[in-house]
Chain A
Amino acid sequence: MSDASINTQARASHGDAEFGDYFALLKPRVMSLVVFTAAVGLLAAPGSVHPFVAFCAILFIAVGGGASGALNMWYDADIDRLMKRTQSRPIPAGKVTEGEALAVGVALSGFAVVMLGLAANWVAAGLLAFTIFFYVVIYTMWLKRWTPQNIVIGGAAGAFPPMIGWAVVTGGISIESVLMFTLTFMWTPPHFWALCLFMKSDYKDAGVPMLHVTHGRRVTRNHILVYTLLLAVVAIGMAFTGVGGPIYLTTALILNGLFVAGAISIWRRDEEISEADGYKREKAFFALSLIYLFLHFGAILTEATLAPYGIGGW
């Protein structure tokens, strides 16, 4: 084996990432939620935009969301190395350097905001810029490592996409878009806290002050119930606004009934019971939370799609 081959192999493992490794920096799974909720916000808004402009707007919102994911991975590389759930991310896995992630994040953030402004309007672009700022600076750099309420306030970052989609069409903000924001905002805490209950060692090892680490599991279970009840009020109340209708109301009543029942079930359990059955109820609640958000936005989309035929809406 020559020196040349040794050098080649060394570089292959450090710094010669595949395209997919850079794509993984954008958190594709989170991006899919961003795309879906932004598309619903855009399609449910009164008025219309050219289909190509709509496609581009969703794409730029997705790129902006992905860019904030890359910046999150850059800043959180130290704790990502400690948590099992995040050890396979491109930076801890040694595929992409921290500097590369920072460069990708900054470049794509600027690109997404400017292109959204040019393609749609500057209100939507401003909201996207604020979303990136909120996720990276307010959540990742400040709240995440400082307060157990990190997920509550940080959840706002993931809640902005439907508002941005709405702003692409209307050029502004309205009660319906704020309620779509509130739906995701209120959904995030019970969704994440349920995950924390059965992924307990991860956040503790990394020293992230999640509620269950700082205040214990009993308090976390109480919080899940309270937020789920508040979420149910918002979700069902939204049925009586411009984006709601009988289909949405039926969906919201069923899903919130199941979600509240799941939260009560988690609240009534203690660690002994949960450990005995491998956190079965907590895992089921987490799985339901994923379907919950998807179906609520799906119902809004259905109402908007059927409205021109006189079926959707009130």
Chain B
Amino acid sequence: MSFREHHELHKRRFGRNLGVALVLVSFIVIVFGLTVVKVTRGDYEPENASIQRDQ
């Protein structure tokens, strides 16, 4: 039996690797999205930042 032959095992491993890849990509998208939302809303600005800007 050749090692290159496609076994059911390879299909399972491929599916698992694909699943992990999708989870990781989703995680990146979520962290990026949360960062955009929080920065846009000014969650990370110091509390007196608006006062300083007005001055």
Contacts and interface: CB of A to CB of B under 8 A. Distances in A.
Interface in A1-44: 1-2, 4-5, 8-9, 11-12, 16-20, 22-23
Interface secondary structure of A, over-half rule:
helix
Contact of B15 (A5, A18, A59): A18
Nearest to B36: A52
Interface of A: 1-2, 4-5, 8-9, 11-12, 16-20, 22-23, 50, 52-53, 56, 59, 115, 118-119
Nearest to B3: A4
A52 B15 contact: no
A115 B35 CA distance: 12
Nearest to B13: A16
10 nearest A-B residue pairs (beta carbon): A19-B19, A12-B9, A5-B1, A19-B16, A18-B12, A50-B37, A52-B37, A52-B33, A18-B15, A19-B15
B24 interface: no
B39 to A, nearest CB: 12
A59 B30 CA distance: 10
Interface residues of B, number: 17
Interface of B: 1, 3, 7-9, 12-13, 15-16, 18-20, 30, 33-34, 37, 41
Contact of B37 (A8, A9, A20, A53): A53
A115 B26 CA distance: 14
B22 to A, nearest CB: 9
B1 A4 contact: yes
A207 B39 CA distance: 54
Contacts of B19: 19-20, 22-23
Contacts of A17: 12, 16
A119 B12 contact: no
A19 B18 contact: yes
B3 to A, nearest CB: 7
B7 to A, nearest CB: 6
Nearest to A49: B37
Contacts of A18: 12, 15-16
Of residues B1, B18, B20, which shows the largest number of chain A Cβ atoms within 10 Å of its Cβ? B1
A11 B34 contact: no
B12 to A, nearest CB: 5
